[in-house]
């Protein structure tokens, strides 16, 4: 494995590069920009070696669109009969430690965890663009959940996160916001163009609605309860009649408990998420919880910047039938 990983890293370093966000450079592979470590190397390794199981559940996201939230929800919904809410693993573990990323954790270097040792159903996450998903995943009957978010809010969340990571990686100064808007609009972002990424999954969800559930962050924020029910049904873990009745009769029915446990307010205030760290012990857990709001971009972008991102959104979505509106 060691020799094979060295070959991947040498290959990545031979690709066209651009100035990066968290890492010094981004590398272009098949028209999409990637960070070398915690990104493309793991993706290539995974493409060659990962074997999906029919019961696998995949969470696919572009960074900063609600991955942490969905990891918590998927884990809680699927494993709800195994744990009591008062002693739930989420109270002491960050969601990223319970639901690993394929290309970062399981196929990162060194790998953190062995996918073959995970109990079924495996809940796995990835920031893989749809166009690069390995064929065995596409051919398997597994369930896939995707969540998108308003482009301006995604951008602001990305910028905050990657600027913190820049500082931590090698003490580099933050990327000026104007420069970052320009890179974002040109698709020079880790995992490439945000709009292309979203459209890839959206189109796939229209083709295979039974395998791919497409969610919106804003819809989750507006009505988490009904979205959680939809998720549970899609995953093949629908709430029972008793659970639904309990929900109607009690203020704290199981669906309500799941929503509360996984809420921004609850998770961000847990000790583990205030002080711990994850992803090879490098990312502080608190960085995954900033504000968790809709529309925070207006507090960080000038009207011109907002207009620029809106213009790209309009151009990219024109004729597709897709809209970010809920
Ligand atoms: P903001 O930076 O806008 O606050 P990801 O999990 O994909 O890295 O996305 C991180 C974004 O989701 C951050 O957005 C973070 O605050 C928000 N987030 C994290 N946990 C959340 C939760 N339980 N509910 C809603 N938003 C959450």
Atom of ligand 1 nearest to the CA of 263: 23
Q: With a 6 A CB cut-off, is 201 part of the ligand 1 pocket?
A: no
* 50, pLDDT greater than 70: yes
Instruction: Tell me the range of 33-42, 221-230, 250-259 where mean pLDDT is highest.
Output: 221-230
DSSP per residue, 92-143: TS-HHHHS-BIIIIITSSS--S-GGGSPSSPEEEE---GGG--HHHHHS--E
Sign of the dihedral defined by the CA atoms of residues 226, 231, 236, 239, in that order: negative
Do the beta carbons of residue 156 and residue 301 sit within 8 Å?
yes
Which residues, other chains included, contact 225 with Cβ-Cβ below 8 Å and sequence gap of 6+? 255, 256, 259
Residues 6+ apart with CB under 8 A from 251: none
Site of tokens 């970010």: 324
pLDDT of residue 170: 81
The pick from 96, 97, 292 for probing ligand 1's pocket by mutation, whose C-beta has the most ligand atoms within 8 angstroms, reads: 292
Burial class (CB in 10 A: 0-12, 13-18, 19+), 119: exposed
State both tokens at 159: 């910028």
Torsion angle, CA of 220/223/225/228, rounded to 10 degrees? -30
Is the dihedral angle over the CA atoms 293, 33, 130, 94 positive or is it negative? negative
What is the band of 48 on the pLDDT scale with cuts at 50, 70, 90?
confident
- Catalytic positions are 127
With a 6 A CB cut-off, is 101 part of the ligand 1 pocket? Answer: no
Indicate if the pLDDT at residue 108 is higher than 80. yes
Contact yes or no for 49/35 (Cβ under 8 A): no
75, 97, 290, 297, best to mutate for ligand 1 pocket (most atoms within 8 Å of CB): 290
According to DSSP, the β-strands at 212-216 and 32-34 are: unpaired
Mean pLDDT of 214-228: 97
> What is the Cβ-side half-sphere exposure of residue 85, based on CA atoms within 13 angstroms?
14
With beta carbons less than 8 A apart as the criterion, state whether 326 and 218 touch: yes
Mean pLDDT of all residues in 72-76: 98
Integer Cα distance of 210 and 193 in angstroms: 26
Closest ligand 1 atom to 289 CA? 16
pLDDT at residue 314, as a whole number: 98
Neighbours of 196 (CB within 10 A): 17
In this prediction, residues 277-289 reach a mean pLDDT of: 83
pLDDT at 17: 97
Structure tokens at 228: 């959680």
Closest residue by CA, ligand 1 atom 19: 289
Which tens digit of pLDDT belongs to each residue from 91-104? 999 999 999 999 98
CB 142 within 8 A of CB 78: no
* Confidence grade of residue 280 (pLDDT, cut at 50, 70, 90): low
Assess whether the C-beta atom of 286 lies below 6 angstroms from ligand 1: no
pLDDT of residue 281: 66
Question: Which residues, in sequence order, are CB contacts of 206 under 8 Å at separation 6+?
Answer: none
Distance from chain centroid for Cα 144: 12
Look at residue 122 and give its three-state secondary structure: coil
Residue nearest to ligand 1 atom 8, measured at CA: 64
Ligand 1 in reach of 288 Cβ (< 6 A): yes
Is 30 exposed, middle or buried (CB count within 10 Å of its CB: 0-12, 13-18, 19+)? exposed
**Ligand 1 proximity of 97 Cβ (cutoff 6 Å):** no
**Residue 157 near ligand 1, beta carbon < 6 Å:** yes
For ligand 1, atom 27: residue with the closest CA: 292
d(CA 254, CA 243): 6
Q: Which two tokens stand for residue 169?
A: 């990686």
Q: At what angle do helices 177-185 and 303-317 cross, to 10 degrees?
A: 10
The mean per-residue pLDDT over the stretch 184-200 comes to 98
49 C-alpha to ligand 1 centroid (Å) = 31
Q: Is 224 in the pocket of ligand 1 (CB under 6 A)?
A: no
Q: How far apart are CA 226 and CA 233, in angstroms?
A: 11
What is d(CA 292, CA 296) in angstroms, rounded to the nearest whole number? 9
Distance (Å) from CA 65 to ligand 1 centroid: 7
Q: With a 6 A CB cut-off, is 196 part of the ligand 1 pocket?
A: no
Is residue 154 within 8 A of residue 197, CB to CB? The reply is no
């Amino acid at each position: 494995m060691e020799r094979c990983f060295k070959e991947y890293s040498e290959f990545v370093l031979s690709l066209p590069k651009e100035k990066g966000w968290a890492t010094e450079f981004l590398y272009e592979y098949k028209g999409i920009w990637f960070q070398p470590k915690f990104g493309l190397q793991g993706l290539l390794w995974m493409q060659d070696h990962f074997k999906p199981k029919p019961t696998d559940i995949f969470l696919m996201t572009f960074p900063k669109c609600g991955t942490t939230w969905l990891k918590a929800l998927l884990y809680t919904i699927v494993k709800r009969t195994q744990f009591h809410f008062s002693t739930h693993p989420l109270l002491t573990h960050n969601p990223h430690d319970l639901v690993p990323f394929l290309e970062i954790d399981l196929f990162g270097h060194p790998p953190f965890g062995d996918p073959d040792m995970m109990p079924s159903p495996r809940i796995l996450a990835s920031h893989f663009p749809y166009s690069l998903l390995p064929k065995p995943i596409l051919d398997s009957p597994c369930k896939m959940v995707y969540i998108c978010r308003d482009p301006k809010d995604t951008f602001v969340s990305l910028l905050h996160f990657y600027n913190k990571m820049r500082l931590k990686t090698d003490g580099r100064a933050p990327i000026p916001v104007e420069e970052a808007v320009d890179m974002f609009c040109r698709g020079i972002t880790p995992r490439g163009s945000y709009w292309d990424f979203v459209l890839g999954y959206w189109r796939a969800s229209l083709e295979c609605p039974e395998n791919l559930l497409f969610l919106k962050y804003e819809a989750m924020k507006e009505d988490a309860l009904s979205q959680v029910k939809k998720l549970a049904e899609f995953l093949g873990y629908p709430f029972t009649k008793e659970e639904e009745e309990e929900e109607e009769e009690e203020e704290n029915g199981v669906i309500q408990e799941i929503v509360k446990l996984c809420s921004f307010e609850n998770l961000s205030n847990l000790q583990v998420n205030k002080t711990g760290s994850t992803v090879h012990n490098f990312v502080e857990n608190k960085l995954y919880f900033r504000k968790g709001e809709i529309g925070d971009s207006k507090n960080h972008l000038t009207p011109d910047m907002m207009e620029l991102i809106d213009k790209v959104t309009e151009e990219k979505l024109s004729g597709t039938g897709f809209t970010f509106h809920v």
